[in-house]
Amino acid sequence: MFDYHSLFSLTNKTALVIGAGSGIGQACAEGLAAFGAHVVCADVRIAEAEESAKTIKAAGFSAEARQVDIRDSGSIQAMVQSIPQIDVLLCTPSINVRKPMLQISDEEFDRVISLNLRGTFLTLREVGKVMVQQGKGSIIVLSSIRSQVVEPGQSVYAATKAGVVQMIRALAAEVGTQGVRVNAIAPGVVETPLTAQIKNNPEWYQAYANKGILQRWAQPTEMVGAAIYLASEASSYVTGTVLFVDGGWTAADGRFQPPL
């Protein structure tokens, strides 16, 4: 019988997690390590990356830290060259500027695009080259429900998250026959540093909770299962797709509960 138990094993694999210093990246780094991967915790904030690696090692798993700024191709190249093999890439960093579109400055637009879209592109390009040369690998990037649905104040952020989806689809089509799979995870509302502004406003926070079918926010740990699935052989026939982990946000229509 096929060894189904090994489907989710990441033993003898190296997973590079960019954004591992906090939030979803940190939780996924811990989860990937727990399933057997040696995890390289990378972040622009090296102290936070080192703390994540320390936590993983304290739990009896394998990890190390790297500093990287994904807005700088040279920084990405230096990091990639320092890692002998990369079997899994999980790229999470994003920023947001919540403003009406007509009030967004040139600088604010450039800042969001530079990290969310250009930074993701640079990372896909540099790590993708390594994986193609290896003839294997799984690339996972963070998109969002905002790639599909928007609200006032989310124009540039939503554009970057939709752009990320099209990039992973194109890359998947280009490198699939060379043993590399490329997918995205699209979270809904997750309690992370990025969403602290919303959590600090009780009315706003509750409105978002009410929108999803599960009627609550997600915790970063609830994104880990999707990351492990896409990183492992359990998803060996999955590429060019977006896995929504949104508590039913994109399935349900509106916030009003009709009297049935």
Give CA–CA dist 165/182, Å, rounded: 10
Structural domains in the chain plus CATH codes: 11-244 (3.40.50.720)
Residue 18 phi/psi, 5-degree rounding, is: -95, 125
Contact at 8 Å (CB) between 111 and 153?
Answer: no
Give CA–CA dist 77/217, Å, rounded: 36
Q: Is 177 left (phi over 0), alpha (psi -120 to 50) or beta?
A: alpha
- Over residues 170-222, the pLDDT tens digits come to 999 999 999 999 999 999 999 988 788 888 999 999 999 999 999 999 999 99
Residue 197: predicted pLDDT: 85
Residue 193: predicted pLDDT: 83
Q: What are the distances in angstroms from CA 57 to CA 3, 9, 62, 143, 231?
A: 28, 18, 6, 29, 20
pLDDT < 70 positions in the chain: 255-260
Structure-token match 């989710």, residue found: 8
Give CA–CA dist 62/39, Å, rounded: 6
Instruction: Look up residue 3 and give its two tokens.
Output: 């060894």
Residue 206: predicted pLDDT: 93
Give CA–CA dist 10/140, Å, rounded: 15
Given 4, 157, 205, 237, the catalytic residue: 157
Residue 205 is a catalytic residue: no
Going by the DSSP 8-state scheme, the letter that residue 222 receives in this structure is G
Helices 73-81, 120-134: crossing angle, 10 deg rounding: 30
Give CA–CA dist 52/250, Å, rounded: 32
Q: What angle do CA 216, 222, 228 make, to 5 degrees?
A: 160
User: Which stretches of the chain are assigned E, i.e. beta strand?
Assistant: 14-18, 38-43, 63-67, 88-91, 137-142, 180-187, 242-245
**42: nearest Cα among 87, 85, 76:** 76
Give CA–CA dist 77/95, Å, rounded: 22
- Over residues 129-148, the pLDDT tens digits come to 999 999 999 999 999 999 99
Residue 74: predicted pLDDT: 98
The 10 Å Cβ neighbour count of residue 140 is 25
pTM of the model: 0.95
Give CA–CA dist 41/92, Å, rounded: 12
Indicate the pairing of strand 63-67 with strand 180-187: unpaired
Residue 195: predicted pLDDT: 84
Residue 259: predicted pLDDT: 65
Instruction: Look up residue 92 and give its two tokens.
Output: 């999470």
Residue 196: predicted pLDDT: 83
Indicate the pairing of strand 88-91 with strand 63-67: unpaired
Amino acid at 59: A
Residue 137: predicted pLDDT: 98
